[in-house]
Structure 1
Amino acid sequence: MEVKVLSKETIIPSSPTPPHLQPLNLSLLDQLSPMLYIPLLLFYPMKKSYQHQDHNKAIATLKTSLSKTLSRFYLLAGRIIGKSIHCNDKGAVFMEATINSNMFDILKEPNNEVLTKLLPCSLLCNTKPIEEYPQIVVQANIFECGGIAISLCLLHKLIDAATFCCFLRSWATTNRELLSLDHSSPNNNMVCVDYKSFSSLFPQTNLLPFHQSLINNDKAVVPPSSIFNRKRRFQRFVFRSEAILDLKAKAKSCDIPNPTCVETLTCFIWKYLMKVADDGDSQRPSTLSHVVNIRKMLEPSLGEVSLGNIMWGTVAHHFSTTRNEEFEGLELSKLVSLLRQSFKKINKDYIKELIMGGDKERRNGVMKLVGEINKWPISNYYFFTSWKNLKLNEVDFGWGKPLWSAIAGDPNEMMGNIIVLVDNVLDDGSTEAWILLDEKEMQLLEQIPQFLEFALLNPSINLPHNQKTADEIFSNKLI
Structure 2
Amino acid sequence: MAYGYTYLVLYYLGNYSNDRIQHLKESLSRTLVTFYPFAGIIRDALSADCNDQGLPFSVAKVEARMSDFLQNPNVELMNKFYPRAEKLLGTGDNIMLIQLNCFDCGSIAMSIKFHHLIVDMVSFSTFLQHWAANAQGLGLRFHPLNLIGQSSFPQKPSLPINLLPFCYLSKYLGSGKFVLRRYVFDASALSILKAQTSSFSVSRVNVVTAVIRQCFMEAVTEESARKDMKPIVMTQAVNLRRKAMPPFPDDSFGNLAWFTKSLWSYPKEKELTELLREVKKEIAKIDGEFVRRLGSEGVYDFLEELKNEMPQEATFLAINSWANIGLSEIDFGGGKPVWMSSYIPQSSEVEKGGNFAILLDSKSGGIEAWTTLDEKYVAGFEKNDYIRKYARFNPSVI
TM (norm. structure 2) is 0.89
Instruction: Tell me if structure 2 keeps the 8 A contact 1:35–1:124.
Output: no
User: Which residue identity is paired with 1:381?
Assistant: F
Confirm or deny that 1:381 pairs with 2:349.
no
User: Which residue identity is paired with 1:206?
Assistant: S
2:78 to 101, 111, 115: 115
Confirm or deny that 1:349 pairs with 2:296.
no
Aligned to 1:187: 140
1:417 to 355, 364, 388: 355
How far off is 1:173 after superposition?
1.2
Aligned to 2:26: 64
Instruction: Tell me if structure 2 keeps the 8 A contact 1:174–1:188.
Output: no
Cα separation, partners in 2 of 1:191 and 1:101, compared to 1, 3 Å: farther
Cα separation, partners in 2 of 1:190 and 1:408, compared to 1, 3 Å: farther
How far off is 1:313 after superposition?
1.1
C-alpha distance in 2, partners of 1:393/1:336? 26
1:309-348 to 2 correspondence within 5 Å?
Answer: 309-321=255-267, 327=269, 330-348=270-288
How far off is 1:299 after superposition?
4.8
Question: For this pair of structures, how many residues does the alignment match?
Answer: 391
Aligned to 2:335: 400
How far off is 1:298 after superposition?
3.2
C-alpha distance in 1, partners of 2:206/2:164? 35
C-alpha distance in 1, partners of 2:343/2:178? 13
Deviations 1:165-221 (A, max 9, x none): 0111111111111xxxxxxx35354642136x625534224342526998xxxxxx9
Instruction: Tell me if structure 1 keeps the 8 A contact 2:173–2:354.
Output: yes
Confirm or deny that 1:248 pairs with 2:158.
no
User: Which residue identity is paired with 2:8?
Assistant: L
C-alpha distance in 2, partners of 1:39/1:113? 15
Cα separation, partners in 2 of 1:103 and 1:287, compared to 1, 3 Å: same
Cα separation, partners in 2 of 1:297 and 1:198, compared to 1, 3 Å: farther
Cα separation, partners in 2 of 1:368 and 1:189, compared to 1, 3 Å: farther
How far off is 1:288 after superposition?
2.0
Instruction: Tell me if structure 1 keeps the 8 A contact 2:40–2:49.
Output: yes
Aligned to 1:158: 118
Aligned to 1:446: 382
Instruction: Tell me if structure 1 keeps the 8 A contact 2:241–2:247.
Output: yes
Aligned to 2:180: 234
Instruction: Tell me if structure 1 keeps the 8 A contact 2:328–2:337.
Output: yes
C-alpha distance in 1, partners of 2:147/2:141? 18
Confirm or deny that 1:391 pairs with 2:326.
yes
Cα separation, partners in 2 of 1:34 and 1:342, compared to 1, 3 Å: same
User: Which residue identity is paired with 1:445?
Assistant: F
Deviations 1:223-247 (A, max 9, x none): 8576252210122100011211221
Deviations 1:425-464 (A, max 9, x none): 23xx2110111110221243235454221111111103xx
Instruction: Tell me if structure 1 keeps the 8 A contact 2:132–2:333.
Output: yes
Confirm or deny that 1:143 pairs with 2:143.
no
How far off is 1:319 after superposition?
4.7
Aligned to 2:9: 41
Aligned to 1:170: 130
Cα separation, partners in 2 of 1:397 and 1:370, compared to 1, 3 Å: farther
Q: Which moved more, 1:285-294 or 1:447-456?
A: 447-456
C-alpha distance in 1, partners of 2:381/2:161? 36
C-alpha distance in 1, partners of 2:253/2:370? 25
Instruction: Tell me if structure 1 keeps the 8 A contact 2:184–2:367.
Output: yes
Larger Rg, first or second structure (1 or 2): 1
TM (norm. structure 1) is 0.75
Cα separation, partners in 2 of 1:367 and 1:347, compared to 1, 3 Å: same
Deviations 1:17-49 (A, max 9, x none): xxxxxxxxxxxxxxxx744111101111116xx
C-alpha distance in 1, partners of 2:57/2:128? 14
Cα separation, partners in 2 of 1:336 and 1:203, compared to 1, 3 Å: same
C-alpha distance in 2, partners of 1:38/1:86? 19
C-alpha distance in 2, partners of 1:190/1:45? 32
Confirm or deny that 1:307 pairs with 2:253.
yes
How far off is 1:285 after superposition?
3.2
Q: In structure 2, the residue corresponding to 1:131 is in which secondary structure?
A: coil
C-alpha distance in 1, partners of 2:8/2:119? 13
Deviations 1:278-321 (A, max 9, x none): 76225443322111111133355422222211011111234554
User: Which residue identity is paired with 1:382?
Assistant: L
1:227-306 to 2 correspondence within 5 Å?
Answer: 227-253=173-199, 257-277=200-220, 280-281=223-224, 283-299=229-245, 301-306=247-252
Instruction: Tell me if structure 2 keeps the 8 A contact 1:232–1:411.
Output: yes
| RMSD of aligned residue pairs (Cα, Å) | 2.7
Deviations 1:145-170 (A, max 9, x none): 11111001111111201011011111
Instruction: Tell me if structure 2 keeps the 8 A contact 1:35–1:125.
Output: no
Cα separation, partners in 2 of 1:35 and 1:115, compared to 1, 3 Å: same
Q: In structure 1, the residue corresponding to 2:56 is in which secondary structure?
A: strand
1:9-158 to 2 correspondence within 5 Å?
Answer: 34-46=2-14, 55-82=17-44, 83-122=46-85, 124-126=87-89, 130-158=90-118
Gaps of 5+ in 1: 1-32, 48-53, 178-184, 215-220, 463-479
Instruction: Tell me if structure 2 keeps the 8 A contact 1:405–1:425.
Output: no
Gaps of 5+ in 2: none
C-alpha distance in 2, partners of 1:312/1:384? 12
C-alpha distance in 2, partners of 1:351/1:212? 16
C-alpha distance in 1, partners of 2:304/2:74? 38
